[in-house]
């Protein structure tokens, strides 16, 4: 099982959500987050003069899938949908996941996704 965590621009939220829906992922968690990347948020800041780190609002998607194939498909869809080609487009982190438990039924692993 793989966990995919994607940080994207807030304005890409709807588009990424719809794209994920179209490939029929089983579950999605979304959060509003703040962050910075390589540029420490500075060149994305309209004032642009801050020396200290500036946190920029982003949207975080978390998706767990059963196989490597599904992970690749999910990553591909997010990368294509969230990309504008400009700095600050975001990042996708991919993790191996040990286990999943469906609380209602106590099912474990792939059955619980
Ligand atoms: N190394 C990292 N660790 C944790 N979060 C990160 C990391 N890099 C980026 N992020 C998250 O992703 C968001 C977008 O990052 P961003 O797209 O600016 O990355 P970047 O490496 O600076 O790439 P680019 O040069 O395209 O801007 C950040 O606001 C932050 O939330
Ligand atoms: Mg950046």
Q: Tell how far the Cα of 104 is from the centroid of ligand 1, in angstroms.
A: 36
Residues 6+ apart with CB under 8 A from 90: 6, 7, 8, 9, 12, 58, 82
Q: Is residue 94 part of a domain?
A: yes
pLDDT value at residue 78:
98
Q: What's the pLDDT band for 113 if we cut at 50, 70, 90? A: very high
Residues 56-103 have pLDDT tens digits of 999 999 999 999 999 999 999 999 999 999 999 999 999 999 999 999
Name the one residue in this structure whose structure tokens are 């003069």: 49
Q: Is residue 48 part of a domain?
A: no
Ligand 1 contact, 58 CB (< 6 A): yes
Q: Tell how far the Cα of 102 is from the centroid of ligand 1, in angstroms.
A: 32
pLDDT value at residue 26:
87
Distance CA 84, CA 106 (A): 41
The CATH number given to whatever domain includes residue 81 is 3.30.70.120
Q: Is residue 93 part of a domain?
A: yes
Residues 6+ apart with CB under 8 A from 59: 7, 8, 9, 10, 12, 13, 16, 30, 31, 32, 33
Q: Chain-wide mean pLDDT for the chain?
A: 93
Q: What's the pLDDT band for 24 if we cut at 50, 70, 90? A: confident
Given a cut of 70, is residue 51 above it in pLDDT?
no
Residue whose CA is at the smallest distance from ligand 1 atom 13:
90
Q: Tell how far the Cα of 53 is from the centroid of ligand 1, in angstroms.
A: 12
Domain that holds residue 83: 2-43+53-112
Cβ atoms 65, 110 nearer than 8 A: no
Percent of the chain residues topping a pLDDT of 70 = 91
Query: What average pLDDT does this structure show over 4-32?
Result: 96
Q: Phi and psi of 87, rounded to 5°? A: -60, 145
């Amino acid at each position: 099982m793989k966990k995919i965590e994607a940080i994207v621009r807030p304005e890409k939220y709807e588009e990424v959500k719809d794209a994920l829906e179209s490939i029929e992922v089983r579950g999605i968690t979304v959060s509003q987050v703040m962050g910075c990347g390589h540029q420490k948020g500075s060149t994305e800041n309209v004032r642009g003069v801050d020396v200290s780190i500036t946190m920029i609002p982003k949207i975080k998607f978390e998706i767990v899938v059963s196989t490597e194939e599904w992970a690749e498909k999910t990553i591909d869809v997010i990368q294509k949908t969230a990309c504008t080609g400009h700095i600050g487009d975001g990042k996708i982190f991919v993790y191996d996941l040990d286990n999943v438990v469906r609380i209602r039924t106590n099912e474990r692993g792939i059955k619980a996704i």
